[in-house]
């Protein structure tokens, strides 16, 4: 026990240290919890190495990273590099590929980059008065500008052209005024001429160029928080993942909606839509109505008798839902008895609709139950703080309570996965997305296996929830220690059960799909990963994360868990005590 | 504000060689932002012999945005709406460049009359006919040219005479007829409303 405490203690002490967490606390505690393996070769073992928050004020610097790579590679000026990158949607690798495939000239021509020729325009050298062929006015050479492509017009016309284009929202690609000239205008010229006329618009132009780095870029996205925090998130080399912005908002990087793993983005979109459309109505309809056997409209029973008649004129038996005649006595409907079971083709359609509805209700209710539990348990955070301070006063040798906070975090994470797993199952084993993917038999077997795992996971989550809700502050020290043991124990079990379920989903369910691919954000024992703050000291290549982030990401073999780093207390937001994404090292090490 | 210098110059330039180019440009009233152009149907096409009236509106941002053009004369062509004369031509949309002029745009329209692009149609019905029953298309186009593109030029003097007899001054009659593309009834309506 004592060793445990020291480990927990160590975890929080020295908040400023950024060093990897060394495992002098590699203790053997006698609980039957599988340890999270350390050196796996999947992205899970290097969390945070590739997720970076870029604050609005750092966008320019972040953009410079990619720009400089291209500038160095092709010996270009910044604006040309930007034009190239906007054309290739900030995909430096793709740009390099095109360069290798087609050569520099074609690459430049396609993107509209024209490097200034060596000879100055003959117009400029010869006459003292130049006619601008746009406004047909004669102007002196000081008042004309020749673009890199060699086309020369008066400054007034250029300015007007730029202003119209910027207002049209074409800032990112303002072409030369000459007919069929594909060249993109030099942004420095645009800036200079526009700001002389309309400084606000020039600012807008700059903002468009800057924000292109987010808006036209596959690997950078705005944080979808409302109200918007102004941050962008960059994720390298990982298409399907969930990430937490510095503002605390967690989202799926694939679809920018809330984190929804193990549902795929498609499933989640369908599910949220279905829930929005149907939940209220469906609830009521299932409880209060039965479909008419003739017109299939839902019928509500408003009297006491079991002979119900629909507005379409059809009478039916409320008990079995079958069609009947209209004559009845107090005790029975004439010529009708529902004691016998029979299958009729007529009823099949109604039966299928009903089955579908019940199927949806089954999954929805469980999804909802866990979502509701999650909301209720969120209140535990407040009471837990009181409990901890009470415990802290009473037991001097129990001075670390991270097992409680970690357990709580584990519970929150698991609840969420659990509730989404029902939405997942609804689509995985239904016909809407995967009709014909599996034979009926295979599906049945797989569904059974999945449900077994889901149940075990669910059972352990409930256990964990139960112990976390105990009135610890009223218990004796022995009892508290006992519960502490159980919380740690179940946290570990829940984690590994959840991971097993994910493995099954990824390998045996989604991995076996033939006709379509559904990818999900992989399981992360530590919850949705927090993107690290982009630092201005980033190396120039731009594709590499800041140095300290690299350290963070390197799996430390000597420590007992996949990626460990002491987190400073200051990192946690909100009340300074609970952070839903605290790495659960203590748990993982058990 | 519309660039007056440029429009004035475009008008003079365009009309200098109108007999060679087959396109001409006139003002509609005193407003430099509203012009009327004519294109003679290219020789060797179903439009040969016709004179086509084009309504031209010059937007405020001209020449940095394209002029708005449409056919006033009814014409049977895959890239021109048979209903309202709207034109589908790239340089009148995103391929416009400030270095182009109303004249070059009209020359492009003339070129469009000789080389229709049925794969990028404005009028799907005409385009279908062009692709599937080319001879019928040619006949229809020729008939429309006869019926709509020639009448105005022949009958214009008669119309002027008729309207002058009604008591309108000849000057304004000619001007109004020009504006409405030679439609007698429209001209009368306009004259009456002052």
Chain A partners of B3 at a C-beta cutoff of 8 Å? 135
Helix, strand, coil content of chain B in percent (nearest 5): 50, 15, 40
Q: Considering CB atoms only, which of A137, A165, A177 is closest to B99? A: A177
Interface probe with A: pick from B92, B98, B104, B105, most Cβ of A within 10 Å: B98
How far apart are the C-alpha atoms of B27 and B174, rounded to whole Å? Answer: 12
Instruction: Kindly give the pairing relationship between strand A220-222 and strand A232-235.
Output: antiparallel
pLDDT, position A303: 67
Residues 6+ apart with CB under 8 A from B121: B78, B79, B88, B127
State the pLDDT confidence band at A337, using cuts at 50, 70 and 90.
low
* Closest among A493, A485, A424, A505 to A456, alpha carbons compared: A493
Which comes out higher in pLDDT, residue A144 or B157?
A144
> Mean of the pLDDT values across residues A349-367?
81
Q: Per the CB < 8 Å rule, is A136 touching B9? A: yes
Specify the DSSP class assigned to residue B159.
H
Q: Assess whether pLDDT exceeds 70 at residue A70.
A: yes
Are B97 and A164 a contacting pair at CB < 8 A? no
Question: In the numeric block, which tokens belong to residue A167?
Answer: 């207002």
Cross-chain Cβ contact A164/B99 below 8 Å: no
B41, pLDDT greater than 50? yes
| Candidate from A135, A153, A178 with C-beta closest to B3 | A135
Q: What is the mean pLDDT of residues A209-215?
A: 88
Q: Which one of A157, A162, A166, A174 would you mutate to disrupt binding with B, by most B Cβ within 10 Å of its Cβ?
A: A157
Please state the domain extents for chain B.
Answer: 4-149, 152-193
Whether residue A11 is predicted with pLDDT greater than 50 in this model: the reply is: no
Where do the domains of chain A lie, and which CATH numbers do they carry? 66-212 (3.30.40.10)
Q: Give me the residue from B6, B61, B100 closest to A135, CB to CB.
A: B6
CA atoms within 13 A on the CB side of A519: 10
Task: Provide the pLDDT for residue A472.
Answer: 82
Residues of chain A found within 8 Å of residue B61, distances taken between Cβ atoms:
160, 164
- Residue A536 has a pLDDT of 56
B94-107 per-position pLDDT tens digit: 889 999 999 999 99
* pLDDT tens-digit readout, A484-531: 889 999 999 999 999 999 999 988 888 888 888 888 888 888 888 888
3 state DSSP class of A409 = helix
Nearby residues of A474 by Cβ (< 8 Å), 6 or more positions away: none
Integer Cα distance of A483 and A475 in angstroms: 10
* Phi-psi map region of A230: left, alpha, beta (phi>0 left; psi -120 to 50 alpha): left
The answer, yes or no, to whether the previous bond of A85 is cis (omega within 30 of 0) is no
Lowest model confidence (mean pLDDT) among A41-55, A106-120, B3-17, B147-161: A41-55
Which residues touch A18 (CB under 8 Å, ≥6 apart)? A548, A551, A565, A566
First to last CA, chain A: 11
Question: Best of B93, B99, B100, B101 to disrupt the A interface by mutation (most A CBs within 10 Å)?
Answer: B99
* Cα nearest neighbour of B64 on chain A: A161
The nearest alpha carbon in chain A to B100 belongs to A179
Report the half-sphere exposure of B83 (CA within 13 A, side-chain side): 4
B64 and A137 in contact by Cβ < 8 A? no
Cβ contacts from A onto B, under 8 A: 35
What is the Cα–Cα distance from A29 to A1, expressed in whole angstroms? 8
pLDDT averaged over every residue in chain A: 76
Most distant pair of Cα atoms in chain A: their distance? 112
Long-range contacts from A146-149, C-beta under 8 angstroms, 24+ separation: A146/A120, A146/A121, A147/A114, A147/A176, A147/A183, A147/A185, A147/A186, A147/A189, A148/A114, A148/A115, A148/A116, A148/A117, A148/A183, A148/A186, A149/A114, A149/A176, A149/A178, A149/A181, A149/A183
Domain B4-149: give its CATH superfamily. Answer: Ubiquitin Conjugating Enzyme (3.10.110.10)
- B98 to A136: CB separation less than 8 angstroms, yes or no: no
Does residue B44 surpass a pLDDT of 70? yes
Catalytic center residues of A = 305
């Amino acid at each position: 026990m004592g060793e445990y405490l020291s480990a927990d203690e160590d975890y929080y002490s020295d908040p400023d240290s950024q060093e990897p967490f060394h495992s002098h606390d590699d203790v053997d505690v006698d609980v039957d919890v599988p340890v999270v393996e350390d050196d796996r070769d999947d992205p899970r073992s290097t969390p945070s190495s590739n997720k970076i928050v870029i604050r609005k004020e750092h966008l320019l610097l972040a953009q410079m990273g990619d720009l400089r790579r291209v500038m160095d590679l092709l010996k270009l000026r910044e604006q040309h590099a930007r034009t190239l990158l906007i054309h290739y949607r900030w995909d430096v690798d793709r740009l390099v590929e095109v360069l290798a495939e087609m050569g520099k000239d074609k690459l430049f021509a396609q993107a509209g980059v024209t490097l200034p020729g060596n000879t100055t325009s003959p117009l400029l050298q010869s006459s003292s008065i130049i006619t601008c062929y746009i406004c047909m006015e004669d102007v002196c050479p000081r008042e004309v500008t020749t673009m890199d492509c060699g086309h020369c017009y008066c400054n007034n016309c250029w300015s007007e052209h730029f202003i119209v284009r910027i207002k049209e929202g074409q800032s990112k690609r303002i072409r030369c005024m000459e007919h069929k000239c594909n060249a993109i205008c030099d942004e420095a010229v645009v800036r200079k001429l526009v700001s002389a006329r309309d400084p606000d618009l020039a600012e807008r132009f700059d903002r468009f160029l800057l924000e292109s780095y987010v808006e036209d870029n596959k690997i950078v996205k705005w944080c979808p928080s409302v109200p918007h925090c102004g941050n962008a998130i960059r994720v390298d080399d990982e298409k399907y993942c969930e990430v937490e912005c510095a503002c605390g908002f967690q989202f799926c990087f694939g679809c920018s909606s809330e984190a929804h793993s193990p549902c795929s983005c498609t499933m989640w979109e369908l599910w949220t839509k279905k829930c929005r459309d149907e939940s209220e109505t469906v609830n009521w309809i299932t409880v209060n109505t039965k479909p008419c056997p003739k017109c299939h409209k839902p019928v509500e029973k408003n009297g006491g008798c079991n002979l119900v008649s629909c507005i379409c004129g059809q009478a039916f038996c409320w008990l079995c839902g079958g069609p009947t005649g209209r004559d009845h006595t107090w005790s029975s409907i004439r010529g009708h008895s529902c004691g016998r079971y029979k299958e009729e083709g007529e009823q099949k359609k109604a039966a299928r609709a009903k089955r579908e509805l019940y199927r949806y209700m089954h999954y929805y209710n469980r999804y909802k139950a866990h979502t509701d539990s999650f909301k209720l348990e969120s209140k535990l955070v407040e009471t837990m703080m009181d409990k901890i301070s009470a415990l802290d006063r009473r037991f001097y040798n129990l001075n670390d309570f991270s097992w409680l906070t970690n357990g709580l975090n584990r519970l929150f994470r698991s609840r969420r996965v659990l509730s989404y797993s029902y939405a997942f199952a609804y689509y995985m084993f239904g016909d809407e997305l995967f009709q014909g993917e599996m034979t009926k038999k295979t599906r049945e077997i797989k569904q059974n296996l999945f449900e077994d795992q889901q149940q075990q996971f669910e059972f352990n989550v409930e256990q964990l929830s139960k112990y976390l809700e105990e009135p610890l502050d009223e218990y004796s020290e022995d009892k508290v220690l006992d519960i502490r043991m159980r919380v740690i124990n179940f946290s570990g079990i829940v984690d590994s059960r959840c991971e097993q379920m994910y493995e099954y989903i990824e390998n045996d369910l989604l991995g076996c799909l033939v006709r379509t691919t559904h990818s999900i954000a992989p399981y992360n024992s530590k919850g949705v990963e927090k993107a690290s703050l982009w630092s201005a000291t980033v190396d120039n290549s731009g594709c590499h994360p800041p140095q300290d982030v690299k350290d963070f990401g390197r799996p430390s073999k000597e420590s007992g868990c996949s990626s460990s780093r002491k987190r400073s207390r200051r990192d946690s937001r909100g009340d300074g005590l609970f952070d839903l994404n605290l790495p659960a090292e203590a748990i993982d090490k058990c | 504000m519309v660039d007056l210098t440029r429009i004035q110059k475009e008008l003079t330039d365009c009309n200098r060689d109108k007999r060679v180019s087959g396109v001409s440009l006139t003002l509609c009233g005193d407003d430099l932002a509203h012009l009327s152009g004519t294109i003679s149907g290219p020789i060797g096409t179903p439009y040969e012999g016709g004179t086509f009236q084009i309504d031209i509106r010059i937007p405020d941002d001209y020449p940095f945005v394209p002029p708005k053009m449409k056919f006033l004369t009814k014409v049977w062509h895959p890239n021109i709406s048979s209903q309202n004369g709207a034109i589908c031509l790239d340089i009148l949309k995103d391929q416009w460049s400030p270095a182009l002029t109303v004249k070059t745009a009209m020359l492009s329209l003339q070129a469009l009359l000789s080389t229709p692009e049925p794969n990028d149609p404005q009028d799907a019905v005409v385009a279908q006919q062009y692709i599937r029953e080319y001879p019928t298309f040619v006949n229809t186009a020729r008939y429309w040219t006869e019926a709509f593109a020639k009448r105005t030029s022949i009958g214009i003097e008669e119309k002027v005479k008729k309207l002058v007899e009604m008591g309108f001054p000849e000057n304004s009659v000619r001007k109004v007829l020009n504006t409405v593309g030679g439609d007698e009834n429209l001209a009368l309506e306009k004259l009456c409303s002052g």
